């Protein structure tokens, strides 16, 4: 058996902010390491899934990097770690990571992940009832573009989604999630 060993692929991650609403006086925004959380999950079917997380590149730089990325297809989950901000765009080369999988080819150079955060997010809250009675369950928020979100009702059968991007959404309330394939 011959095994070819090579250096692990590293993918730089950068995040920048776009103010839509003026920042509160004295508000300071930290470097990339505190702005976003990035997870790349293998989209291959099988028993085990590989997850890679962006981590600080080094102690001096505020940039992030995904290290030792193996060839394959990955679903990107990118969230803002800063309240009131949402991910407006996330691309790697020509790939829109908010709607498409990232494909990593053996030996091919990796394009950096470039993320834009904006501060004009919205919050959606409500209650779930059926025939006038409070009902517990799950609420699905399905954006026209991007990944679905799930929120389970709690006290008073209330739900809340925050850090939402402007756009169109469908909202579904279900009494249970057993066997629901909402991501397809």
pLDDT tens readout for residues 18-76? 988 887 776 666 555 578 999 999 966 555 678 999 999 886 766 899 999 999 999 99
pTM score: 0.81
Residue 3's Cβ-count burial label (10 Å; 0-12, 13-18, 19+) is exposed
Name the DSSP letter for residue 73.
E
Split at pLDDT 50, 70, 90, the class of 133 is confident
Nearest alpha carbon to residue 115 among 144, 81, 149: 81
Torsion, CA 148, CA 152, CA 155, CA 156, rounded to 10: 70
Using CA atoms, how far apart are residues 92 and 114, in angstroms rounded to an integer?
A: 6
**CA 87 to mean position of chain CA atoms:** 8
Structural tokens at position 108? 């091919």
């Amino acid at each position: 058996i011959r095994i070819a060993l090579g250096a692990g692929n590293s993918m730089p991650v950068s995040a920048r902010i776009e103010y839509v609403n003026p920042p509160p006086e004295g508000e300071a925004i930290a470097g990339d390491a505190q702005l976003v959380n990035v997870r790349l999950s293998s989209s291959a079917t099988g028993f085990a899934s590989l997850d890679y997380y962006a981590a600080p590149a080094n102690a001096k730089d505020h940039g992030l990097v995904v290290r030792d990325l193996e060839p394959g297809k990955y679903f990107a989950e990118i969230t803002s770690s800063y309240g009131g901000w949402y991910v407006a765009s996330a691309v790697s080369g020509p790939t829109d990571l908010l709607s498409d999988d990232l494909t990593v080819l053996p030996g091919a150079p990796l394009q950096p992940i470039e993320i834009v955060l904006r501060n004009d997010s919205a919050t959606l809250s409500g209650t779930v009832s059926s025939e006038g009675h409070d009902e517990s369950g799950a609420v699905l928020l399905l954006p026209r573009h991007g990944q679905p979100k799930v929120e389970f009702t709690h006290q008073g059968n209330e739900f809340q989604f925050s850090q939402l991007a402007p756009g169109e959404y469908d909202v579904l309330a279900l009494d249970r999630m057993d066997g629901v394939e909402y991501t397809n």
